[in-house]
């Protein structure tokens, strides 16, 4: 007999204290049935005593308002990755989860800066997917970037991740352009007790996690701590030689989640978190103006979130959410400069202008260092967000969700904005779900939003028809439109580095001088500074099928999505001090299909995902001129290429999770994505875990191996690892 008992297994049976309860249960059953005498006629051969008798005592817990929408009725394709699957597959970092999502790819830019995207169209700044953690917008407020490595979301606390593929602005607003990532952490009620885990592995990977919490009648709470350390890539290459690559991180995060229960129908969620640590940056990869030392980033973020949930009836509920997030990044570093650079600044020659030989006269290759100065790329963003959402279930076939939201993004940065400023967004949204026939569900939704970044308002609609058969098969037709507005930095940059502590003294006249794009540009014809950017548009059409096939010993689930999208006025270009060339200048037509399948047998789970993407991209902006005044077709082509560097034609994953005897569980996964800029990504993971169930705790020991099949870096020639077999060991315990 398998038993996790801290008392002897065959303890003698004690008098049942529950007898009184049981008798009272029947007594109440009797009372309950009295109330329904009329309906409970003796002649009724299917007299349903169980329902009636205990109904008064046992509350209906999973009411309509608490139930999630079934996939057959969802207006679009959604991938759900459960926390258990993430842990069973031995995934080491949050961003790697998205390799399991059809059509999504993950790679790295800069100093091991993870970027994940759906259908490409992104490189450095991941700005076309809405990312939410427990309903809280998580991308940085003004630079529209996702910093996956500093997100305060321990893998152990992930309940599930839902990725809505396709434009979702109708529900989530104007940044849900290509899709929405919704990370749902575990409810504090579900993590009562103590849990701790340590994972250590190749390339200096170390992750320690601990949580403590409790669930009570009035308050559920949880406190977590996580430390993440990683060395990143092993080396970079320059001129065929290998050099050390400083690109890791050392991040600590504390989170506190709680739920105050005022009443069975009213509760208040309170969440807060603090992130502190360092992101290591290599001076040859990151930062401007020829850094002399490594421009590491000191991270100090925090957030506060509250959400009031009110259920006024079994068919009506609403929530009011308020959150504030602060992203504080300090990036001080020292730059060096030759005499020639000082001369250029004195005579007004842009620092990165090339001469006729394509050399940099202000920074000659063999010029000795003449002076130093301290600069910084500090920034602090604060996002204030309110949301009210109301859901009314008129009947089982008619459901209305509506709400309003307001967001204020405040930015403070001498480097990027030369001061501070704010952007404002307000929106109203709604969705009607109507099932006129048992086999047809219609969804009509829209989002009206106004933003101060463009001083315009936009409406993003979505229409969907789901044809369902036997509640097991659904054929969906979805039409949606969405916009993405430029972020605060894209629209209103004032980028410059102020020189401080300039040395030696002969350069003291440079003290306090601010070096801006105008003093650093490479080609004047590329500059688009001061140009008003407009919103990007997407029109998306989707036909998808979701089906479940019960088997004698298992279950097969399949989802296939076909899409045809038109993306217009896409903002592309380079964001560098010497080259600011972003504009609404690219159009994309894309089509393809995606498959997600899962086969579950007793003790065995097989999962497969595949995405095929066919993109047609062309330049639609104003002509770009070179220094000679000719149209720079190379630059124009490069601008379109920038949006396709992470657009891969084929991508996918295969995974298997297998229970083994003696409490062992094995898993393996294969991930691939082809046609990155330089090469393709192919990795095989294998994990074996032993779970030990003891009286008051469950422990787990695991070993994971990652094998990189392709040994060439995919995006950058600097992203190299020495050993293509990476190993990790982990130990965890839950009380």
Distance of alpha carbon 419 from alpha carbon 414, whole angstroms: 5
Residues 582-601 that bind other proteins (CB under 8 A): 600-601
The answer to whether residue 657 forms part of the interface with other proteins (CB under 8 A) is no
* Residue choice 419, 436, 603, 623 for contact with other proteins (CB under 8 A): 603
**What are the φ and ψ backbone dihedral angles of 345, each rounded to 5 degrees?**
-65, -35
The answer to whether residue 469 forms part of the interface with other proteins (CB under 8 A) is no
Alpha carbon 458 to its chain's center: 24
Residues 666-705 that bind other proteins (CB under 8 A): 691, 693, 695, 697-698
* Residue choice 3, 504, 505, 662 for contact with other proteins (CB under 8 A): 3
Distance of alpha carbon 576 from alpha carbon 517, whole angstroms: 8
The answer to whether residue 57 forms part of the interface with other proteins (CB under 8 A) is yes
The answer to whether residue 602 forms part of the interface with other proteins (CB under 8 A) is yes
- Do residues 687 and 707 make contact, with C-beta atoms less than 8 angstroms apart? no
Distance of alpha carbon 528 from alpha carbon 507, whole angstroms: 32
As a whole number of Å, the CA-based R_g of the chain is 29
The interface region with other proteins, picked from 47-55, 274-282, 511-519, 535-543 by CB under 8 A, is: 47-55
| 538 DSSP β-pair partners | 482, 567
Burial class, 621, CB count within 10 angstroms (exposed 0-12 / middle 13-18 / buried 19+): buried
The answer to whether residue 506 forms part of the interface with other proteins (CB under 8 A) is no
The interface region with other proteins, picked from 249-257, 357-365, 383-391, 543-551 by CB under 8 A, is: 543-551
* Residue choice 13, 348, 366, 504 for contact with other proteins (CB under 8 A): 13
* Residue choice 356, 357, 395, 553 for contact with other proteins (CB under 8 A): 553
The answer to whether residue 661 forms part of the interface with other proteins (CB under 8 A) is no
Q: Which is nearer to other proteins, 57 or 374 (CB)?
A: 57
Name the token pair of 548: 């479940």
Q: Which is nearer to other proteins, 7 or 505 (CB)?
A: 7
**What are the φ and ψ backbone dihedral angles of 174, each rounded to 5 degrees?**
-70, -10
Q: Which is nearer to other proteins, 215 or 539 (CB)?
A: 215
**Which of 102, 116, 115 minimizes the C-alpha distance to 165?**
102
Closest separation in Å from C-beta 30 to other proteins: 3
Q: Which is nearer to other proteins, 551 or 631 (CB)?
A: 551
Peptide bond between residue 63 and the one before it cis (omega within 30 degrees of 0): no
**Which of 411, 433, 244 minimizes the C-alpha distance to 327?**
411
Name the token pair of 376: 């910084």
Residues 337-396 that bind other proteins (CB under 8 A): none
Q: Which is nearer to other proteins, 65 or 290 (CB)?
A: 65
The interface region with other proteins, picked from 58-66, 378-386, 494-502, 643-651 by CB under 8 A, is: 58-66
Q: Which is nearer to other proteins, 473 or 531 (CB)?
A: 473
Please enumerate in sequence order all residues whose Cβ is within 8 A of that of 725, keeping only pairs 6 or more positions apart, or say none.
Answer: 705, 706, 707, 708
Closest separation in Å from C-beta 21 to other proteins: 5
The answer to whether residue 84 forms part of the interface with other proteins (CB under 8 A) is yes
Closest separation in Å from C-beta 96 to other proteins: 21
DSSP secondary structure string, 669-713?
EEEEE---SS--EEEEEEEEEEEEE-SS-EEEEEEEEEEES--S-
Distance of alpha carbon 350 from alpha carbon 366, whole angstroms: 19
Residues 716-735 that bind other proteins (CB under 8 A): 734-735
Closest separation in Å from C-beta 191 to other proteins: 7
Show the binding pattern over residues 157-196: x = contacts other proteins (CB under 8 A), - = does not: --xx-------------------------xx-xxxxx---
């Amino acid at each position: 007999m398998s038993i996790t008992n801290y008392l002897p297994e065959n303890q003698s049976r004690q008098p049942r204290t529950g007898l009184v309860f049981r008798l009272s249960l029947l007594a109440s059953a009797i009372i309950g049935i009295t109330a329904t005498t009329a309906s409970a006629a003796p002649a009724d051969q299917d007299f349903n005593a169980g329902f009636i008798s205990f109904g008064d005592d046992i509350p209906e817990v999973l009411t309509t308002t608490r139930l999630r929408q079934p996939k057959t009725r969802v207006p679009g394709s959604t991938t759900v990755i459960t926390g258990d699957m993430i842990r069973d597959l031995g995934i080491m970092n949050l961003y790697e989860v998205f390799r399991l999502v059809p059509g999504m790819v993950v790679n790295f830019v800069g100093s091991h800066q993870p970027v994940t995207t759906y259908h490409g169209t992104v490189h450095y700044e991941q700005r076309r997917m809405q990312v939410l953690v427990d309903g809280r917008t998580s991308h940085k407020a003004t630079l529209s970037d996702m910093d996956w490595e500093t997100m305060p979301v321990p893998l152990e606390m992930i309940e599930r991740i839902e990725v809505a593929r396709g434009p979702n602005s109708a529900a989530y607003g104007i940044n849900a352009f290509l899709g929405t990532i919704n990370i749902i952490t575990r409810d504090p009620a579900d993590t009562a007790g103590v849990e701790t885990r340590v994972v250590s592995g190749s390339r200096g990977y170390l992750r320690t996690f601990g949580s403590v919490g409790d669930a009570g009648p009035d308050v559920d709470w949880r406190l977590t701590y996580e430390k993440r350390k990683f060395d990143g890539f092993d080396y970079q290459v320059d001129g065929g030689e290998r050099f050390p690559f400083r690109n890791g991180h050392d991040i600590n995060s504390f989170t506190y989640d709680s739920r105050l229960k005022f009443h069975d129908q009213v509760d208040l969620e309170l969440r807060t978190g603090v992130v502190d640590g360092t992101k290591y940056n290599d001076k040859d990869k990151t930062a401007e103006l020829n850094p002399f030392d490594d421009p590491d980033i000191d991270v100090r973020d925090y957030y506060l979130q509250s959400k009031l949930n009110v259920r006024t009836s079994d068919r009506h509920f609403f929530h009011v959410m308020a959150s504030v997030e602060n992203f504080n990044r300090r990036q001080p570093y020292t730059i060096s400069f030759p005499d020639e650079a000082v001369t250029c600044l004195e005579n007004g020659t842009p620092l990165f202008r090339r001469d006729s030989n394509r050399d940099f006269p202000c920074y000659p290759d063999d010029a000795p260092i003449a002076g130093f100065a301290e600069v910084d790329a500090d920034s602090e963003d604060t996002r204030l967000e309110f949301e009210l959402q109301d859901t009314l279930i008129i009947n089982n076939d008619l459901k209305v969700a509506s709400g309003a939201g307001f967001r204020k993004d405040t930015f403070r940065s001498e480097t990027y904005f030369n001061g501070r400023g704010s952007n404002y967004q307000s929106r109203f949204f709604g969705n009607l779900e109507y099932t006129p026939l048992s086999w047809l569900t219609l969804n009509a939704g829209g989002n009206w939003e106004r933003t101060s970044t463009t001083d315009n308002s936009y409406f993003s609609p979505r229409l969907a028809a789901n044809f369902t058969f036997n509640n097991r098969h659904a054929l969906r037709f979805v039409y949606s439109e969405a916009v993405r507005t430029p972020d605060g930095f894209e629209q209103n940059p004032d980028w410059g580095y102020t020189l401080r502590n300039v040395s030696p003294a002969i350069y003291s006249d440079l003290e306090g001088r601010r070096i801006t794009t105008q003093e650093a540009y490479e080609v004047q014809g590329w500059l688009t500074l001061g140009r008003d950017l407009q919103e990007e548009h997407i029109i998306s059409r989707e036909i998808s099928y979701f089906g479940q096939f019960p088997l004698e010993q298992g279950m097969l689930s399949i989802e296939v999505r076909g899409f045809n999208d038109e993306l217009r006025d896409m903002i592309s270009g380079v964001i560098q001090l010497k080259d600011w060339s972003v504009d609404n200048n690219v159009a994309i037509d894309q089509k393809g299909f995606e498959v997600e399948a899962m086969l579950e047998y007793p003790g065995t789970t097989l999962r497969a995902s595949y995405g095929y993407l066919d993109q047609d991209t062309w330049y639609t902006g104003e002509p770009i001129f070179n220094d000679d005044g000719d149209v720079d077709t190379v630059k124009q082509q490069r601008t379109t290429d920038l949006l396709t560097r992470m657009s891969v034609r084929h991508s996918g994953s295969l995974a298997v999770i297998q229970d083994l005897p003696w409490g062992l569980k094995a898993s393996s996964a294969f991930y691939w994505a082809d046609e990155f800029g330089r090469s393709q990504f192919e990795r095989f993971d294998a994990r074996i875990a032993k779970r030990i169930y003891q009286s008051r705790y469950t422990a787990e020991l695991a070993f994971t191996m990652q094998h990189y099949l392709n040994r060439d870096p995919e995006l950058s020639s600097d992203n190299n690892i020495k050993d293509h077999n990476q190993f990790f060991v982990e130990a965890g315990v839950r009380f």
